[in-house]
Structure 1
């Protein structure tokens, strides 16, 4: 099944399994998370990727915000057009203001560049600082 608003593929096993109960109008949302960045023993950030357009469904924005807040990590939205990448951060302390889609003015642009440059940005912001703190003689546990 595709979203009538953005054309993205929605159906997954959980969504399909709950379809017989849709008529009960229960407060259930099924969404996914595109990427979770884990470095060492900690989750460092959540990323949601939108290819070609930055239309973020309101209900998905609310769920992703809740997950990021509970993990105390930043929430980023990636817009990719071929090799050009735009990265936006969503402040998880603000309310989600949306209609069918999240309002674009709620997103803070934090990066623009190629896919390779995004890799460098992620390494500098999340990976290298985390690895240097891990090598300080602490035992790593999972």
Structure 2
């Protein structure tokens, strides 16, 4: 593991140098982890599965309840959220939802065919295509909001 040698670079002498390669560090880490129990690999890293989560063979997340995987990356779900494999800022602390890869608040907004739109009629808000309408006053036909035709039949 250790190589001590005297080197001369541009006529200058250097003290003995310590050279430990990355693979040597992995070997040391593997020995430490194997002595503690469960040993797994995540990409080039050896890790203890009781203490870490592997995110798509790329990133390691600490298993402490404050981290989670979003695709290949580790993130904190209390301040962010994972929408279609992308980490987004949490738009509302309690009422955050995903619409495609975007965050929205279900109280104030709704997701209509992958588009975030403002609620137009409170709890009665309904999607039509990528828009919002109130079904009490309008109708949706083939993804378009229309006013209902008045009946020509009278009693």
Q: Same fold (TM over 0.5)?
A: no
Q: Considering only CA atoms, is the larger Rg found in Structure 1 or Structure 2?
A: 2
**Bigger strand fraction:** 2
Structure with bigger RCO (C-alpha 8 Å, 6+ apart): 1
For the aligned pair, the TM-score class normalised by the smaller chain equals under 0.3
Q: Tell me the TM-score normalised to structure 2 length.
A: 0.22
Q: Tell me the TM-score normalised to structure 1 length.
A: 0.23
**Bigger helix fraction:** 1
